Structure 1
Amino acid sequence: MSRRRIAVIGAGVVGVSTAYGLARQGHDVILVDARAEPGRGASAGNAAQLSYAYGDAMASPALLRHLPAIALGRDPAFRVTWSLDPHFLIWGVRFLANAGSARWWSNTAHILDLAEVSRREMASLLAEVDLSFSYRMAGKLHLYASAAGLDAMRPTVQRKRERGLAQNLLSRAEATLIEPALEAFEGAVIGAVHTPQDAVGDCAEYCRGLTAHLVRHYGITTLFDHTVTGFARKGRRLHAVQFRDRDALPVDLAVVAAGPQALNLLRDLPEAQAIWPVRGYSLTLPAPAGTPSVSLTDVSRKLAFARIGDRFRVAGLADIAPRGGRFDEARCEALEKTARSVFPHLFNHTSEVCRWSGERPMTPSSRPLIGRSRLTAGLYYNIGHGMLGWTLALGTARRLVDMIAE
């Protein structure tokens, strides 16, 4: 395959993983981001969980049944701010259309296939590159407050087992043998789904460390603190990347992997119409004694807990609102209050709590978008990963690199 000059726009986990795949193929890669360093967007404060066996699509029958409570603002974990924006309304209708049982499983199966590619790619990367990002196979426990909720998971667990994934239904006592910190968990737990092969890692550290490796060993160029505004063409073929604050950059190809910022490039990339930003929040604090080692997800409260080295992270909330939203102090306080209600001792020892909020680019189906622009030859996209960007980044990068190679 001939060496090409390729700009990768976005230095979050998807963009950095894509740059890694392209650099290994021998291409001349320029990694571009509007921020000052890699991993500063959604990668900076995500839940840290690599959910290789639990990548369930967000639009689901369970969420559909809960929709009236969400619409009326009675669910603390989900919040919808209604808008007459046609883009928002179309996205919402398509989201609801994906919530039926058949579509939900089709979407989930597609995500699980990508997650398996990601898992294999991560193993290959770790065998090749000496990266320090607190990665470990922590396993994960999804905690259920009711017997009915746990029982409803049996068909899905069976389906995943038939795909070769390891998942087990456990009682609370059995889950506590795996994670003794559950003795101190003050929320109701009747049982759990255990996924032993899911992993955890610091996504932002991964972005910084892998970028540094690419610069040192593959000679990639980085262009940080520069905002992309569009693309110049010669006929229908991409000629250059255009910026707000510097001269155009001539390239052979470009990949948009800029998360929700891809919506700023709709004029050149109409495929980004299929995503909408969903805002999430997280808290990161020093990990005291008694911090869970296994990653936990409290299903009823929609909270994710993960130990990352000597830190502990709590992530949650899904706010679907008009674009351009900002950090909401009240929402972050609600997250902390809920987390304290189930694990109070983890917060009592410190006031050093780092609060974060960011937008995740979600498709109605939860399937990432990987493809070629229909308007511009040479322009590609790898967007729409939603809450699963960390899990799926290496898998979608592999698919994108293979597409370019074809």
Structure 2
Amino acid sequence: MRVCVLGAGVVGLTSAYQLARDGHDVTILEGRDGAALETSFANGGQLSYSYVAPLADPSVLPHLPAWLLQRDSALRFVPRLDVQQWRWCLSFLLACRGSRARQTAMEMLQLGALSRDALHELVQREAIDFNYVRNGKLVVYRDAQAFDAARRKMAYLAAAGSDQRALDAAACVALEPALERAQPLLAGGIHTPSEEAGDCYTFGVALAGLLQARYGVAIHYATPVESMIIEAAEAVAARTPHGEIRADAFVVALGNGSAPLLRTLGVRLPMYPLTGYSLTLPGTPGHAPRVSVTDLHRKVVYAPLGERLRIAGMVEIAGMSVAQRERRLALLRRQAQEIFPDAGDYAVAETWCGHRPATPDSKPLLGATPYRNLWLNTGHGALGFTLACGSARVIADAIAGRTPPLDLGAYSWQR
């Protein structure tokens, strides 16, 4: 079967990999000049399979006024004359209901476990170097009540297969000595040994090369998809500035570009861009963390990528605006120096601002559309790298007519 994948971010590339492994003739269309140049370019770098809980949760509701009104808060809402923004926010509030949030968390843990296994299989089979480490993750808490709540939640996660340990502040420093100067700030931490890290951009570039060289996948860069050509409720071609690309099936993995494309076909995807920021700096041996660390109070993540340290965080509900870029990056730098003051040379850090394609309940959009051969694999928010391999396997199963290992209805665009 000829399958055309729209998008060469980590989600599109892993989709193409699974489809090519199934023996399909695969083509990728990408609007940028190379692979993984959008949200995949400089994300947090953590592969956190046990930390895929939705942002929409009852616990966030008491914090919303402060988060949304304070200029230095981790989560900021910048109101716009944008119906999509307000519709997304209302759906987010509805998704914060306790029973729904718990069900969503279990569904995402299932997808996370599937993705972990799929990535492990890919790494074992293919020679891809992307600073991949199985280094574990330490979530540190500054507030004793938040730490107590996290310890209570450990039993819930253990039922889903997570192996975790609660550590006091001294034990956190013993595990990750780079936290020594931050010890007075800490109430404790939760350590998950099974978590991993890697460079998503390097992974994407390497996988794109592998797809071309070993699996015969054709990748057309600088080829944006302008529209889909539909005949008799079936997609027959993707229209690009360079002509029409015909295929037997199409996979939409365009991130934020998915919603406007599908809107022209009468399909309204519940997605909105959430802006995030990152710094990448050369790490100082002995002072940069070697375990992945999440500072839950600041909502900032730290991932070692070889000799570099990736620092990422913040969520802005502001559309595609980058008006706050410099101020937010400066804030991220200050917050990082607060917990890891000697981790590296912050003055030479590479900076990034990106827009994560997010759904209100944090679950990606996977599976069928009203058009028989047009499939969705998009809307992964900040979890694209973590969930990409599992999502790709699900889509490949669906296209092949195999029963996917999870309920696709839970990931429907109509849920």
Deviations 1:273-311 (A, max 9, x none): 301000100000101122110000001111101110010
Shift of 1:272: 5.0
1:351 Cα deviation after fit = 2.9
Q: Distance in 2 between matches of 1:170 and 1:135?
A: 25
What is the alpha-carbon root mean square deviation over aligned residues?
A: 1.5
Q: What fraction of aligned residue pairs are identical, expressed as a percent?
A: 36
1:257 aligns with 2:258: no
Q: 1:390 and 2:385 equivalent?
A: yes
Corresponding residue to 2:310 among 310, 313, 323: 313
| Correspondence 1:229 to 2:238 | no
Partner of 2:348, secondary structure, is coil
* d(CA) in 2 for partners of 1:146, 1:84: 37
Confirm or deny: 8 A CA contact 2:275 2:319 kept in the other structure: no
| Structure 2 residue aligned with 1:51 | 48
Match of 1:354 in 2: 350
Measured in 2, the distance between the counterparts of 1:272 and 1:18 equals 22
The amino acid that maps onto 2:387 is: L
Change (3 A) 1:379 1:276: same
| C-alpha contact 1:187 1:341 (8 A) present in aligned 2 | no
Number of residue pairs matched?
Answer: 400
Mapped pair 1:400 → 2:387:
no
Separation of aligned partners in 1, 2:216 and 2:251:
18
- The one-letter amino acid of 2:58's match is P
> In structure 2, what residue type is equivalent to 1:391?
T
Would the alpha carbon gap of residues 68 and 75 (structure 1) be closer, same or farther in structure 2, given more than 3 Å must change?
farther
Q: Tell me if structure 2 keeps the 8 A contact 1:280–1:359.
A: yes
Determine whether 1:135 maps to 2:132.
yes
- Give the structure 2 partner of residue 203 of structure 1: 200
1:144/1:5 CA distance change after superposition, 3 Å: same
**Any unmatched runs of 5+ in structure 2?**
402-415
What is the identity, as a one-letter code, of the residue corresponding to 1:355? Answer: T
Alignment match of 1:363 (pick from 321, 344, 359):
359
Equivalent AA in structure 2 for residue 381 of structure 1:
L
Question: Which ranges in structure 1 are unaligned for 5 or more consecutive residues?
Answer: none
For 1:39 and 1:187, the matched residues in 2 are separated by: 39
Measured after TM superposition, the shift of residue 270 of structure 1 is: 4.7
Say which SS state the counterpart of residue 347 (structure 2) adopts.
coil
What letter matches 2:353 in structure 1?
S
| Deviation digits for residues 318-343 of structure 1 (CA, Å, limit 9, x no counterpart) | 01013454672111111112112222
Instruction: Report what 1:65 is aligned to.
Output: 62
Q: C-alpha distance in 1, partners of 2:55/2:346?
A: 34
Instruction: Tell me the secondary structure at the aligned position of residue 143 of structure 1.
Output: strand
For 2:315, the aligned partner's letter is A
Query: How far is the alpha carbon of 1:187 from its aligned partner?
Result: 6.6
- Tell me the alpha carbon deviations over residues 1-51 of structure 1, each in whole angstroms, 9 at most, x when there is no partner: xxx111111111101010000000011111111111111111111000000
Aligned to 1:98: 95
Q: TM-score, normalised by structure 2?
A: 0.93
Quote the residue 1:341 is aligned against.
Answer: 338
Q: Distance in 2 between matches of 1:274 and 1:267?
A: 11
Which of 295, 300, 304 aligns to 1:303? It is 300
Secondary structure of the residue that 1:54 maps to in structure 2?
Answer: coil
Q: 1:107 aligns with which of 80, 104, 109?
A: 104
What SS does the aligned partner of 2:56 have?
Answer: coil
Amino acid at match of 2:362: S
Q: Match of 2:365, as an amino acid?
A: L
